[in-house]
Amino acid sequence: MTPADHKVVGALMEAYFEGLHHADSAMLREVFHPHLAYICATEGDELYLDLETYMARVDGREPPAKRGDPREEEILEIAFASDRLARVSARMTMMGRDFHDLLTLVRHGAEWRIVAKVFSYVPRKG
């Protein structure tokens, strides 16, 4: 894929991180596919949610930004399988946990959207 494709997915990821940091479900709805699969793969906390259930959780949480938590995130890899399918591996720290996200992106109309968010976490050390 082209540098422009990487730039577009990078912008989507910036909105993803910003939306999570501010617990902004309206912003997150712009990056998630309407048929999102949200899956926590942490042992003992396995969870399978749809978009609406996940957005209700986001709306019910205190935003990390409001608590004064710094944004700590990194895109580890962006891989394109085709012009309609991509994968992003990312890590972030939020709510006292270190998360590793594996995100599957698909084209939704003319835009990229996250259709699957599979993640695990460990308590933050320190």
CATH number for the domain spanning 18: value is: 3.10.450.50
| 33-77 pLDDT per residue, tens | 999 999 999 999 999 999 999 999 999 999 999 999 999 999 999
pLDDT at 126 (0 to 100) = 65
Beta-carbon count within 10 A of 42 CB: 14
Note down the domain range covering 78.
3-123
Residues in the chain, total: 126
pLDDT at 125 (0 to 100) = 80
Average pLDDT rounded to a whole number, residues 101-116: 95
Look at residue 1 and tell me whether its pLDDT is greater than 80. no
Rg (C-alpha) for the chain, rounded Å, is 14
In the chain, how many domains are there? 1
Starting at the earlier edge strand, list the strands of the sheet with 111-123: 47-49, 32-40, 111-123, 97-108, 85-94, 72-80
User: Per-residue confidence at 5, pLDDT binned at 50, 70, 90?
Assistant: confident
pLDDT at 13 (0 to 100) = 98
93-103 burial: b if 16+ Cβ within 10 Å, else e: bbeeeebbbbb
What are the backbone dihedrals phi and psi of residue 11, each rounded to the nearest 5 degrees, phi first?
-65, -40
